């Protein structure tokens, strides 16, 4: 995962939802951005593990004030990548994450330069810093726009 967070205790970059590798602090890290890239397929999880990871990620992300997640789930007609992708599509379409996710946009529908892509960027300009994910293999990702109403300011 990319480091989009900073340790409030020592100021070093940190991952989300883990203790600080530098000072061991478990205080919630400060978010440096409202956009998170979350690689779900890292170290080849099973479908169940991937769905669980997403659930944890969504909980941490909403707590930290993240507004949009670029979810990298991979793709493929067969194999684990494909299964994870379809499980995620199905879970989203069946509103399994609707308490956290306000909108979802499948990568194949938001190809770089398309109308949907431009609409998405107008809504969340911070996505501009992650253009490469739209350009490369966009069928392997989904953009999640999170609910922010539950956040305590
Ligand atoms: Zn620290």
CA of 138 to the centre of ligand 1 (A): 34
How confident is the model at residue 1, as a pLDDT?
A: 46
pLDDT tens track for 50-84: 999 999 999 989 888 899 999 999 887 666 668 99
CA of 45 to the centre of ligand 1 (A): 28
Q: By the 8 A CB rule, do 91 and 51 touch?
A: yes
CA of 26 to the centre of ligand 1 (A): 8
> pTM for the complete prediction?
0.81
What is the average pLDDT value for the chain, to the nearest integer? 86
Q: What are the residue ranges spanned by the domains of the chain?
A: 1-32, 34-146
Fold of 34-146: Ribosomal Protein S8; Chain: A, domain 1 (3.30.1370)
Give the whole-angstrom CA distance, residue 99 versus residue 12. 32
């Amino acid at each position: 995962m990319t480091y989009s967070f900073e340790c409030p205790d020592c100021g070093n970059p940190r991952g989300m939802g883990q203790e600080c590798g530098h000072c061991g602090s478990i205080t919630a890290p400060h978010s440096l951005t409202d956009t998170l890239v979350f690689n779900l397929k890292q170290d080849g999880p099973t479908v169940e593990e991937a769905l669980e990871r997403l659930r944890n990620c969504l909980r941490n992300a909403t707590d930290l004030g993240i507004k949009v997640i670029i979810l990298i789930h991979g793709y493929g007609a067969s194999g684990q990548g494909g299964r994870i992708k379809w499980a995620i599509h199905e879970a989203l379409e069946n509103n399994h994450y609707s308490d956290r996710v306000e909108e979802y946009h499948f990568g194949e529908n938001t190809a770089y330069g398309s109308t949907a892509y431009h609409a998405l960027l107008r809504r969340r300009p911070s996505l501009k810093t992650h253009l490469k994910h739209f350009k490369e293999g966009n069928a392997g990702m989904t953009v999640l726009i999170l609910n922010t109403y539950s956040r305590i300011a």
